[in-house]
Structure 1
Amino acid sequence: MSPSAKKAVYFFFWYFSTLTPFAYGADLLPATAPRPVEEQPDHLTFSFSPYFWAAGISGDTAVFGLPEVHIEESFGDILKDIDFGMMAAGEARYGRFSVLTDISYARITSDSATPRSVFADSVALKQETFTAMLGIGYTVLGDDQSRLDVVGGAKLWSTETTITFRGGPLGGVSARDDATWVDGLAGFRGVYSLTPRFYLTGWGLVGAGGADLDWDVMGGVGYEIKDSVSAVLGYRAVGVDYSNGSLTNDIVEHGPILGLVFHF
């Protein structure tokens, strides 16, 4: 199989077989339109949410005191540069309570990063990122038209970045650094029925810990195909701002999402 074909297979598996991406918290998507709190099942239910996130990335990164480099990649650039990625998530719900989990891994190699200095002509960037989130939700408001959950949890980050400068005084200089940290996150997720089939859905999470700032927001429209399956179209943005003195990782990913939510 050619390298380009392999990348296409890896990309398809990354986005569709389990979750999305460098995305975090896919199962924040409500599985169906809301039902009254008093009518929620008195047994465990589960949901699984594979979806496609056409995300671009922008931001700055640096290692070991070398000049910062700027990343500005569209969705098409990410598709070209991805080496491998896979993600998985799940949700268990009992009455008002829910438990969310989300695991992701992505490795990207890019020649499109640009130096924020006059000491190099271009930059090669390789970045590997692993995240794992565990959260707990509780329904604070609910009726036959809407539901609002409070969500809190922790997210583990592990990232390794390699930067190689080309041309100019720093030509040939290469450095690699890695970091692992945990952030606490809190926020809300909700759903509001427009009709018996169509509904609005979204979430907003923000936190910090090892990072100075960690956030995730999404808004979309869902359609209940049947009781156990919904389709959702929306827009999502995720950002993190981390620095430990030797590694800087200040990036934002954003773009449209389209997914299915299976409830059982």
Structure 2
Amino acid sequence: MKLGLVCAATCAGILMLADGATAADVYTPVTPEPQQIVTEAGWTFSVAPYFWAAGLSGEVGQFGLPPVDIDASFSNIFDHLDFAAMAITEARYGRYSIFGDIMYSKISGSAGTPRGILASSATVSSETFAGLIGAGYALIDTEAARLEVVGGARVWSVDNDISFSGGVLDGVSVSDGATWVDAMAGLRGNYAITPKVYLTGWGLVGGGEADLDWDVAGAIGYRFNDKISAVAGYRALGVDYSNDGFVFDVVQQGPILGMVVRF
């Protein structure tokens, strides 16, 4: 059974240059910076909303039923997106950083089934929450570049509803969900090409209750002035989780586009 739909989640990849032209002043890859607060103790804080338009491919299954194949590009995102919210925060002190990344999306879609015997069509509604919290230490922290080794944990919570129409399963609806935690580790960094242009990216991989959990991204940013930056890039995130008949084995990928305002 194959169902086309699109997942929207969002991603941190929107960065902003602070005052000055060095890469050390560019905030880390998971921290867009619409607002920064600097304390006398040397801590810096940032918080930001962000948006990531992503396609979804893979398998979703529940109650031991045959998994539904999902394959849709990010170009159809607004046809299936019901709601999305996302935000990132970071605190930094010298070479040390603490960060959080929260993504929530609700999507839905429907399509006909291949043979139409068990059902002529199926409708899927999915709510996904993913929250990452971690800490980092800068191995390289120079005027040109910053490279951090990071570690943390990602919490997933997924709820799926599948409804069938026509055929033997006409009128049948099933719901299932799961919550799990995975340990994550990797690198993130940025590099100032010029006082206005910078590169940023990250790579994280891990697992735990999921067999595999990974997240990679790359982006280029441009600072118009001290208050406004723009960023464009690409992110891919995948997770392979299955337990007691519940299957969530998907890859989300798509472009990162954003405008960041600093107050």
Q: Common fold, TM-score beyond 0.5? A: yes
What residue number does 2:119 align with?
A: 120
Question: How many angstroms apart in 2 are the aligned matches of 1:118 and 1:205?
Answer: 43
Change (3 A) 1:118 1:189: farther
Stretch moving more, 165-174 or 241-250? 165-174
Change (3 A) 1:179 1:259: same
Give 1:180 deviation, angstroms. 0.7
Partner of 1:187: 186
1:44 aligns with 2:51: no
Question: Alpha carbon RMSD of aligned pairs, Å?
Answer: 2.8
Distance 2:179 2:113 in 1: 25
The range that moved more, 111-120 or 135-144, is: 111-120
- Identify which range, 87-96 or 164-173, moves more after superposition: 164-173
Partner of 2:176: 177
Does the 8 A contact of 1:29 with 1:202 survive in 2?
no
Q: 1:21: Cα distance to partner?
A: 5.4
CA distance in 2, matches of 1:98, 1:77: 36
Q: CA deviation at 1:169?
A: 3.6
The structure-2 alpha-carbon separation of the partners of 1:209 and 1:261, relative to structure 1 and needing over 3 Å to count, comes to farther
Q: Secondary structure at the match of 2:205?
A: strand
Match of 2:30 in 1: none
Against the structure 1 CA distance between its residues 66 and 97, is the aligned structure 2 distance closer, same or farther, given a 3 Å change threshold? same
1:81 corresponding residue in structure 2: 80
Q: Could you tell me which runs of 5 or more consecutive residues in structure 2 were left unpaired when the two chains were aligned.
A: 1-6, 26-38
Matches within 5 A, 1:144-159: 144-159=143-158
Distance 2:116 2:66 in 1: 7
Match of 2:250 in 1: 251
- Per-residue CA deviation, residues 82-116 of structure 1 (Å, 9 max, x unaligned), is 22222222111111111111222211121148579
Q: Which residue of 1 aligns with 2:240?
A: 241
SS of the aligned residue for 1:35 comes to: helix
SS of the aligned residue for 1:120 comes to: coil
Aligned to 1:110: 109
Give the equivalent residue in structure 2 for 1:22: 9
SS of residue matched to 1:195: coil
Worse-matched range after superposition: 178-187 or 99-108: 99-108
- Residues 201-240 of structure 1 aligned to structure 2 (within 5 Å): 201-227=200-226, 229-240=228-239
Cα distance, 1:85–1:30 mapped onto 2, change above 3 Å: closer
Shift of 1:228: 5.2
Aligned positions, number: 241
Larger mean CA deviation between 110-119 and 212-221 belongs to: 110-119
- Structure 2 partner of 1:14: none
Say which SS state the counterpart of residue 79 (structure 2) adopts. Answer: helix
From 7, 16, 23, the counterpart of 1:34: 23
Q: Deviation at 1:163?
A: 1.4
Off by >6 Å, runs of 4+ in structure 1:
115-118
Contact 1:49–1:262 under 8 Å retained in 2: no
Counterparts in 2 of 1:136-147, with a 5 A limit? 136-147=135-146
Q: Tell me how far apart the structure 2 counterparts of residues 179 and 116 of structure 1 sit (CA, whole Å).
A: 30
Structure-2 residue corresponding to 1:66: 65
Matches of 1:79 and 1:107, distance apart in 2: 12
